[in-house]
Structure 1
Amino acid sequence: MNSPVEIPYKSFIKIERNSEVAIYMQITNQLINAIQRGFIPVETKLPGTRVLSQILNVHRNTIVSVYDELFAQGWVESLPNKGTFIIGKNEEKPVSFNDFSQINLRNYPKTTGFAFRTSNILDNPFEHSQCEFVFDDGIPDIRLTQIDRQSRIYSSTLKRKAHKIRHYNQDGSEFFKSNLSQYLNLSRGLPISNDNLLITRSTEMSIYIVSEILLSAGDTVLVGALSYFSVNMIFQKAGVNIVIIPVDHEGINADEVRKICKTQKIRMLYLTPHHHYPTTVTLSTQRRLELLNLANEFGFIILEDDYDYDFHYDKSPILPLASADTNGMVIYIGSFGKSLAPGFRTGFIVAPENLMIEMRKYLGIIDRQGDILMEHVLGELIAEGEINRYLKKSLKVYQERRDYFIYLIQQNLENFLHVEKPSGGLAIWAEWKVPANLMQLSKYCAQNNLFIPKTLLYQNKNLTAMRLGFGSLNFEEMEKSVEIFSKNVRKLVYS
C-alpha cells in the first residue's frame, strides 16, 4: 500500500469556490477521476480527514462528506483502526505519481481513441455575428410575441398536468392533436383527424423521418431551382440523386417534371408551394393540379412543405396540394407556432394512417419522450383563439414592414437591384442588375456592423441574387441596415 503523503493531492484537486457545485462534490469527482485513470492505485490508503482538509485548505467536515460519498459510490472501504482504502481491480501497470506534473486530470480527451465516419454534407451552414444589424433568412420578430400570456399558460399547465404524466408519450398530446387537426382543417382545408398527425420538434426532423422511411440510396428526388439548403442536406445524407427543376413566376415548372418522369423513375418531389424558398413565388393553382395529376400518373410522392403559410398579406392563400389529394400521394409537413417564442414551436407531419404507423415507430426511437406539456399549452392557445388573435395582429405589422422595406430598397438601390413585392412571407428576393461579388459585399457590410450570412447569397454564372429577411427588423433598424447596405453596394460596384 502506498503512503498517503506520497500523493500530491493538491496538484490535481482544484477547488472553484464560486462554482454552483458543492465543494465536497468537486473534490469527490476529482478523486474518482484520479482513481479511474490509475493515478491513485487500488489499495492506496487515503489521508485522514484532518490531514486532507489541511492539505486542501477546507473544513474537516467537507472531507468527511467526501469520504462518505466515495464509500456510498463504492470507491473506498473503511477498515477499523487502519483507515480508508481505495478498492477495485489492480492494474498491471499503475501510473507513476511523477506523471502528475504532466497530466491535468480536469482536461477531457481532445480526440477519440477509435476511428469513425465523418460527413461534410452535414457541416453547419449557419453563421453568427456580433454585428448590431442583421439581414436574416426571414424570421419573425420575437419582440412582437406575447411572452407573458404564453408563460402564464405554460405555468398553469405545469401545475395542473405535470404530476399526471406517468410515462413517456411519443404519440404526443391528444388534446393538442385534436385542436391542431381542427386548426389545419379550418385554415388549410385538410379533412384530417388525430390519426393523420405526427408531432415533431421541427420541419427538419419531419423531413428526416420521411427520408428514413420513404427514401433509399439511389432514389431520385426532384427539388426546385433554387431550393432549401437544409432540406437538400438531409436528402444528400440519404444518398439520393437530387434533380433540379426550373422555377419561374408561377413556381416549379410542371412540364419539366413530366419530361423527367418520362425518362426515369422519380421517387419524390419536394415543394414549398405557398412561398417557394428562396425566391418567395407562389405555385399557381393550375400547376398544383398538374403536379397532383403527375404524381398519380407516375407514382411519385409529393412532399409539401407549408413554409411561411401563416404569413400572407394581399389575399387569402391558395390551399395546399394536400387538401386536394384523394389518392394519398401527398405528405404535408410544417411548423406550428413559428410566430411564437422559439421554445413554443413544434413541427408536424400530415399523412395517411398506414404511413403514420411506421412514422411513429421512428419517432419513438429519436424522440420517445416528446414534450407533452408544451403541446398541451399550444393546444390551449388554439382552443382559446390566442393563435388567431396574435396572427391577425402580427400580420398587420409584418405587412407594414414588407411595404416599407420594399420602399427603402427601391429608393436607395433601384439601379442595382430588382425586387418584386412578395404576397406573403418574411423575406424578399432581390436579383442584381449589375455584376457584383456578393461574398465581398458581405465582408464590406460586416465591417460596418451589418451581417449578411452566406446562406442568403446566391451566385453562379447565370444568377446573382439575395434573399433578405425583413420580419425581424423594425422601421428604424431597416433604415440603418439599408443605409449601410446601400453605402457598401456603391463601394463594391464603383471601386
Structure 2
Amino acid sequence: MASPVSIPFESIIQLDRSSGTPVYLQIAHQVINAIQRRYLPAGTRLPGTRILAKALQVHRNTIIMACQELDAQGWLEIHPNKGSFIIGKADPRPAKFQAGQTVQLIEYPSVTGFQFKKSSLLDNPIGYSKARLHLNDGLPDYRLTPLDQLSRYYNTSLKRKINRRHLGYQQAESNLYFRRQLANFLNLTRGLHVSPDNILLTRGTEMSLFITANLLLQPGDTVVVGTPSYFIMNMIFQQAGAHIKTVPVDGEGIDVEAVRKLCEKQAVRLLYITPHHHYPTTVTLSAGRRLDLLKLSAEFGFIILEDDFDYDFHYDKSPVLPLASADTSGMVVYCGSFGKSLAPGFRTGFVVAPENLIVELQKHLQVLDRQGDPLLEQVLGELIEEGEMHRLLKKSLQVYGARRKNMVELLNEYFSDQLQFEHPNGGLAFWLEWKKELNLAKFSKACEAKDVFIPRTLLYQQKNLTAMRMGFGHLDESEMEQVISIMREVLTNITIQQNE
C-alpha cells in the first residue's frame, strides 16, 4: 500500500481557479474520480491537511472542507489520531498510478466503450455556416415577436394563484383550458368541427409528425409522398422502417390519379401531404383533387397525414380549408403548429384526430414529454380568448405581404432572364426554377464565400429539374436586397467562367 507521502497528489488533482466550482469541491470531486478509477485504492491513508495543503498550494481550511465533503459522501473515513482513509478494505491489487505519471481525471471519455446502433438517416442535413446572411425554407422573422406584450401575459399568468397548480407535472386535464381555446380557434379559422378531446399538444410540428408516424407505421409499410418532397419527413418514415413511394406534383398539387394506380398495385398504409402549400414547390392542392383524394383514402383504406405547416400565412384570398375539415371517414390526421408568427420559443404543435387515436398518442407523448409547457399554454390560450392572436396575425401578415412583394420585384429585376417562379398566394417561401443549366452545389458554395449561406436542403438538382426553395419572411428589405445582389453577382461570375 502506498504511503500518503509517496502519492504525488499535485499530479492527480488539477485545480482550475477560474472555474465557478469552489476549489474544495474540485479537490473532493477529483479525489472521488481517483478512487473510482483505482488511482487511490481503498484503504489508502491521505496525508495530513497541512501537507496536502502545501502540495496543492491551497489554504488548510480548503483541505479540511474537502475532507468533510468526502466524509459526508461516504468516500472517506476519518479516525481521530490516526488519519483519513479511503473507505473500504485495503485493495490487494496495485494502484493504477505509476511514479512520475500525471493523471488527467477531469477529462471525459471521447468515445464510448461499447457498440451501439448508428443512423445515417437522421444525420443533420441542414448544416451550419458563419456567413452573415442565411437563407431558409420559409421561417418567420422572430424579430417581429411582440416580446413586451408576451412578457406582460406571462407576468400576469404567474401572479394568478389559480395557475400555480399547473406548474407541476402535467395532469390529464391541466391543459384543458388551452385545448378548449385552440379547438375554438381551429374551428373558426380552418372549418374544423373538433372538441378538446380531438387535440394532442406537442412541442412542435416535427414532434407531432414523429410520434404519429412511429405509432401508425410498421416496418415494411408503404408511404406515399409527392416529389419533390420534404426531406425531414422522408427521414422519419425511413427511420420507422417504411418504404417510400413517390408520385408527381404538378400545378394542381399531388397527382391523385398516380396515387390510385399505386394503390391498385400494392397496399398503401399512409400518404403524407402538405395540401395548403406543397413542400417545397408551394403549389396548392386543387379543390377537385382534394375531394378525389378523400374518396380514394376511404376506398383503399390509407391514412392521410396532413401537414399544414404554414396555414396562417395567406395574402391574396382566403386560404383553402384543410382536408381534415371535410373528412367524414376518420382517415385524416391533421398536424400543425400554433403561434407560427411568434418566435420559436412561443410556439406549440398539435395533432388533430379522432379521439381514440389521440388517447393512444397521449400515451407515447407522456413518455417523451411528461412536463409539457403549462405556462406557455396558459398564455397562448389567453391570447386566443382575448382576440390578441388574431390581431398579431393580421399585423404580421401586413409585414410578410410587403416582403413578398419586395421579393417579387427583386427577382424580376435581377433574374427575369434566369428564373421562372409563381407568386405564392401564401406561405413564406418562393419556388425558383432556373431556366439554364446551373450547378447548384457550386452556386451555393460561391454564395457562402460572399456571406450568403444557402443550405443544401433548399437545393433540388435532378435530371430535368434545377430549382431551389427560398424563404423570404425572415429577411427585411435591406437584407433581401443584399442576398439577391450577391446571388446575381455569383451567377454572373459562373456564367463568365463557363464561357471562357
* Mapping of residues 169-248 of structure 1, within 5 Å: 169=170, 171=172, 173-248=175-250
Q: Taking structure 1 as reference, are residues 410 and 92 closer, same or farther at Cα in structure 2, changes over 3 Å only?
A: farther
Q: Given the superposition, is the C-alpha separation of residues 69 and 179 from structure 1 closer, same or farther in structure 2, using an over 3 Å criterion?
A: same
- Is the 1:38–1:91 contact (alpha carbons within 8 Å) kept by the matching residues of 2? no
Alignment map for 1:17-32 (pairs within 5 Å): 17-32=17-32
Q: 1:81-100 maps to which residues of 2 (within 5 A)?
A: 81-88=81-88, 93-98=93-98
* Preserved CA contact (<8 Å) 1:270 1:302: yes
2-structure distance, mates of 1:95, 1:406: 73
Q: 1:108 to 1:288 in 2, by over 3 A?
A: same
Q: How many angstroms does 1:104 deviate by?
A: 1.5
Give the residue type in structure 2 aligned to 1:325: D
Corresponding residue number in structure 2 for 1:274: 276
**Cα pair distance change 1:99/1:232, threshold 3 Å:** farther
1:65 match: 65
Give the match's secondary structure for 2:98: helix
Contact 1:334 1:347 (8 Å CA) reproduced: yes
- Of 18-27 and 423-432, deviating more is 18-27
| Aligned match of 1:380 | 382
Partner of 2:135: 135
Cα separation, partners in 2 of 1:345 and 1:90, compared to 1, 3 Å: farther
Shift of residue 170, structure 1, vs aligned partner? 6.2
Displacement of 1:169 in angstroms is 1.5
Asked whether the equivalents of residues 167 and 375 of structure 2 are also in contact (C-alpha less than 8 Å), the reply is no
Deviation at 1:102, TM superposition (A): 5.4
Equivalent residues in 2 for 1:329-478, closer than 5 Å: 329-478=331-480
Structure 1 position 305, deviation (Å): 0.5
Residues 338-397 of structure 1, C-alpha deviations (whole Å, 9 max, x = no match): 221221111110111111111111111111222222221221222222221111101000
1:169 maps to amino acid: Q
The one-letter amino acid paired with 2:459 is L
- TM-score normalised according to structure 2 size: 0.95
Aligned-pair distance for 1:17? 2.3
CA separation in 1, counterparts of 2:17 and 2:102? 25
**Unaligned ranges ≥5, structure 1:** none
Q: CA deviation at 1:23?
A: 2.2
Task: Pick closer, same or farther for the CA change 1:339–1:203 going to 2, 3 Å.
Answer: same
After superposition, the Cα gap between the structure-2 partners of 1:246 and 1:139, relative to the gap in structure 1 and judged at 3 Å, is: same
Against the structure 1 CA distance between its residues 91 and 126, is the aligned structure 2 distance closer, same or farther, given a 3 Å change threshold? farther
Q: Between 25-34 and 443-452, report the one with greater CA deviation.
A: 25-34
Q: CA deviation at 1:154?
A: 2.3
CA distance in 1, matches of 2:436, 2:278: 24
Contact 2:141-2:343 within 8 A present in 1 as well = no
Task: Report the CA distance between 1:89 and its aligned residue.
Answer: 6.2
The answer as to whether partners of 2:15 and 2:23 remain within 8 angstroms in 1 is: yes
Partner of 2:267: 265
Alpha carbons of structure 1 residues 90 and 158: separation in structure 2 relative to 1, 3 Å: farther
C-alpha deviation, 1:165, in angstroms: 4.0
CA distance in 1, matches of 2:37, 2:392: 57
Q: Secondary structure at the match of 1:247?
A: strand
Matched residue type, 1:330: V
Q: Does the 8 Å contact 1:39/1:94 carry over to 2? A: no
Q: CA deviation at 1:49?
A: 2.5
Pick which of 339-348 and 450-459 moved more.
339-348
The alpha-carbon distance between structure 1 residues 454 and 169, as it changes in their structure 2 partners (threshold 3 A), is: same
Instruction: Using the TM superposition, name which of 319-328 and 335-344 deviates more.
Output: 335-344
Do structure 1's residue 150 and structure 2's residue 150 form an aligned pair? yes
Using structure 1 for the length normalisation, give the TM-score: 0.96
Matched with 1:300 is 302
Runs of 5+ consecutive residues of structure 2 not aligned to the other structure? none
Contact 1:224 1:247 in 2 (8 A): yes
CA distance in 2, matches of 1:59, 1:407: 71
1:37-56 alignment runs, 5 A limit: 37-56=37-56
